[in-house]
Structure 1
Amino acid sequence: MIRNLSMMTDLYQLTMMYGYYKHGMQNNVAVFDLFFRRNGISYAVAAGLEQVIEYIRNIHMDANDIAYLRSLNLFDEEFLDMLINFRFTGDIDAMPEGSIVFPNEPLVRVKAPIMEAQFIETALLNIVNHQTLIATKASRVVHAAGGGGVMEFGLRRAQGPDAGIYGARAAIIGGCIGTSNVLTGQMYEVPAMGTHAHSWVMSFPDEISAFRAYAKTFPDQCLLLVDTYDTLKSGMPNAIKVFRELRAAGHEPMGIRLDSGDLAYLSKQARRMMDEAGFENAKVVASGDLDEEVIWDLRAQGAAIDTWGVGTKMITSADLPALGGVYKMSGEIGPDGALVPKIKVSDNPVKITNPGMKTVWRIYGKTSGKALADLIALEDDTFDTEKPLTIFDPTETWKRMTLRDYTMRKLLVPIFREGRQVYAAPSLMDIQHYCESELDTFWEEYKRLVKPHTYKVDLSDRLYDLKKKLLNEARPEF
């Protein structure tokens, strides 16, 4: 069942809507961009679009909503009557989920009557900020694992049910092979994964009894947690004993899980013990407050870990708790139907926005197929890929590069037209595969965890000139 989240908005969206309405501006058409600013990450993975679509399609206010708004004593009855039939009727373009995105690029572009465009700001930011943040963190963790599977284990540490459900969804987009969250598994048809807790072992008279009971219950999915008492002196010998009993009964064990201690040392010892016992195919799974940096270090130490269970630090994006996405007006349609570009000016250069109706082009080397740079451009900019293209850093303009033998692809795609959905959302696993293929188009230098190479995101000549012109008009002393 899709929830009605129409009232999940900031009050100032409604007060601004009321102001537009009272001043006869309700039919003015505006353009807004949702993007994030530089925040210390080398790239991000766009996520949350499916929930944005659900939200937009379901916008409506029922009698209880109207009664609550009336109780605030802020709005007149004419405005409240209008809200009864309020729906989204505009256009939305967006980056498909799983796209690799960079600061200042519009992830979502909205063109709609200003009241509608204003109203949806809060929900769009809430949805896209959260899922993009977690998908990005998951992508970094998966990259650190270097081909070892990563399981999302964060539900119990997520900041509420929605963060657990949609955080797990985003983690799958970022490359996780499954989740412990059964509801997410059910909702999105992705693998639900897990073993048993220490409490299972502690519930039996001794460790070997617990292991035998689990093996009897799940003879073909037997993965034993071996660190309840003593990993190498008790857990591993007992696990191997049960594995031999399983094999004698015609079953093969899945492996063991380590959740504490020196995971590098313990995993290597556990691997040696299983190999010597003839269980070379049994897996070593590790969990326990892991993140990409810990995983990278463990692999550097030669840890014999096949699969990683990552919880708290991924589901909360512990080192970067907010993406910092913003939603800014970039233009307004004038009475003659032409776009009037808008710019936000600030003493902080990072907060100066890019004006106009924009899109994003990704430039690829024709021979390598690798991404070379992104170009934020005006929607009506045209490019001839048969001719050299010179791009430059919009801040440090002396940094230039002339491209030859290249191709270009527009990244924003239509999602809604005049309030009607025109985009078919793919399955979650299809989104994950798209994300994997997109990451493969980037050189490893851009994806490394420490001091990655900065990917070029430049402005087209026309957009750069427009921005400079509006800045000069807004602050002539510049």
Structure 2
Amino acid sequence: MDEPRNLTLVMDFYELTMSQCYFNQNKDLEVVFDLFYRKNPDDGGLCVLAGLEQVVEYVKNLHFSKSDIEYLASLGQFSPEFLEYLSTVRFTGDIDAIPEGTPVFPHEPLIRVRAKIIEAQLVETAILLALNHQTLIATKARRIVQAAEGRAVMEFGARRAHNFDAAIYGARAAYIAGCAGSATTYAGEKFQIPVLGTMAHSFIQSFPSEYDAFLYYAKTYPDACTLLIDTYSTLKSGIENAIKVAKDYLEPNGYRLKGVRIDSGDMAYLSKKVRARLDAAGMEDCAIVVSNSLDEYVIESLIRQQGAKIDAFGVGENLICSKNSPVFGGVYKMVAIKEDGRWIPKIKISDNVGKVTNPGVKDLYRIYDRETKMAIADLMTLQEETIDTNADLRIFHPMNRWKYKVIPGGTYDVRPLLVPVFKAGELVYDLPSLEAVRAYSKSELDTIWDEIKRFAFPQEYYVDLSEKLLDLKLRLLEQYR
């Protein structure tokens, strides 16, 4: 097994400069940070959390190597005592997180870190990086898979990704969200994701004729033959040569042509013409695959508005880069510090209401309608609070005390979303297989109403506060005002 890369220095430099100050002042101070985000990409109604496994790998392997310390010493900004401390530092705190694949919403804690202040500060960039990237790609992939309405979606984006890791971990995130597989072979090896792909136009151009190229490929892969039919002319030559190879070689030898792929032109028009030609040739089982700058909006239009005869989609740059909305705005904010054995809540205030944080050590619950089993709201509470599902539950808007909802007792169930991952630096969470994460994500998405999952003007999902948490927040706002 390959040794894990030492990514400890994947951190913003200010995490080190602050940590030296903490080291000199109060290195044993315990703190709590929340990682959350403020806005769904693409103006959507939800996100799909991904990247937790890579957070675990980073935290488990957190250490400064001899070469790391030598490099930091060469910068001339850190004391020998601080560098000696860094050479022995390991993560010894607690991390609680929402499981991968869970639908999540703005402002709720995706990860809660409780640790000594230096340890909590040093992990900031890496855990943001892991969750920001994969959650972004999983969220985009979920939208594209939803638009395909049960048709297979293949992730084809490696050559457009932002470097090697973006392609590999983007493929992982896309698979969590429901893509059938990836063209990125390394992702297949590393994560056991199905790998998919057939041929490029260059393959066809390298033969004397399109027919010769198709025939050679059919002879090489007779039981898995999908042919790219738009190199010269989709309708005049491509589909005709594909049918001819099927009749000349595949069918006489007991095989069937699995599919044809179209990579250019008017996908709706061409797919209907190709489908008619295939059916007339007795090849109703031959699938039509399309690619070329697809996203959820193009796919939805092809299926619903234009009646395209498409069985599967290959999606590249618009998925692997989340091209329409390429940034996931996860942030990492301190919410409490420990003084004299008591947790003191902390708040970040801004003229922008959306940037005001929710203070204190919090828990997060998902509330389900007991009859329908559908999610109706998420609720943040102070950690010491408990919920009695037999009693009426009042949940409050994050800023306005007058705006609340009462859920009658006995009509709802709750599930805590934050689960222990690290305790006192020890991993206590059994990481599920990627297949299990994928299946879990699908089942969790099924509990979210369609109105929240629609692409345009989705219904806002409630992420509310308990009365005690809202009172604390308003009191701190008044105090600092």
Normalised-by-shorter TM-score class: over 0.9
- Whether 2:69 is the aligned partner of 1:66: answer yes
| 2: CA distance, partners of 1:188 / 1:396 | 45
| 2: CA distance, partners of 1:362 / 1:315 | 30
| 1: CA distance, partners of 2:397 / 2:84 | 50
Q: What's the CA shift string for 1:317-363, capped at 9, x where partnerless? A: 0011111100000001112x211110011111111100011121111
Q: What's the CA shift string for 1:419-465, capped at 9, x where partnerless? A: 00000111111111111000000111110111111111111111101
Q: 1:130 aligns with which of 130, 133, 136?
A: 133
| 2: CA distance, partners of 1:380 / 1:221 | 58
Partner residue of 1:49? 52
| 1: CA distance, partners of 2:144 / 2:165 | 22
Q: What's the CA shift string for 1:373-416, capped at 9, x where partnerless? A: 11111122111111121223223554432213110001010000
Partner residue of 1:407? 413
Partner residue of 2:22? 20
- The answer to whether the 8 A contact 2:396-2:470 is kept is no
Write the letter of the residue equivalent to 1:27.
D
TM-score, structure 2 as length reference:
0.97
Superposition pairs of residues 413-432 of structure 1, within 5 angstroms: 413-432=419-438
Write the letter of the residue equivalent to 2:479.
E
| 2: CA distance, partners of 1:115 / 1:67 | 20
Partner residue of 1:7? 9
Partner residue of 2:326? 321
Q: What's the CA shift string for 1:99-146, capped at 9, x where partnerless? A: 100000111100000000001001111111000000000000000111
Q: Which runs of 5+ in 2 are unaligned?
A: none
Superposition pairs of residues 328-477 of structure 1, within 5 angstroms: 328-335=333-340, 337-404=341-408, 405-475=411-481
| 2: CA distance, partners of 1:273 / 1:403 | 57
| 1: CA distance, partners of 2:461 / 2:124 | 28
Cα deviation, residue 62, structure 1: 1.2
Between Structure 1 and Structure 2, how many residues are aligned?
Answer: 473
| 2: CA distance, partners of 1:157 / 1:147 | 25
Q: Secondary structure at the match of 2:246?
A: helix
Closer/same/farther in 2, CA of residues 395 and 467 from structure 1, 3 Å limit: closer
| 2: CA distance, partners of 1:400 / 1:28 | 36
TM-score, structure 1 as length reference:
0.98
Write the letter of the residue equivalent to 1:190.
I
| 2: CA distance, partners of 1:159 / 1:402 | 46
Q: Secondary structure at the match of 1:361?
A: strand
Q: Which runs of 5+ in 1 are unaligned?
A: none
| 2: CA distance, partners of 1:137 / 1:67 | 41
Partner residue of 1:35? 36
The CA RMSD over aligned residues, in Å, is 0.9
User: Aligned residues: percent identity?
Assistant: 52
Partner residue of 2:310? 305
Q: What's the CA shift string for 1:283-317, capped at 9, x where partnerless? A: 11110000000000001111111111000000000
Q: Secondary structure at the match of 2:284?
A: coil
| 1: CA distance, partners of 2:414 / 2:337 | 28
Write the letter of the residue equivalent to 1:463.
L
| 2: CA distance, partners of 1:442 / 1:399 | 23
| 2: CA distance, partners of 1:253 / 1:433 | 30
Superposition pairs of residues 45-444 of structure 1, within 5 angstroms: 45-244=48-247, 245-300=249-304, 301-335=306-340, 337-404=341-408, 405-444=411-450
Cα deviation, residue 276, structure 1: 1.0
| 2: CA distance, partners of 1:131 / 1:199 | 32
| 2: CA distance, partners of 1:239 / 1:219 | 13
- The answer to whether the 8 A contact 2:44-2:453 is kept is no
Write the letter of the residue equivalent to 1:370.
M
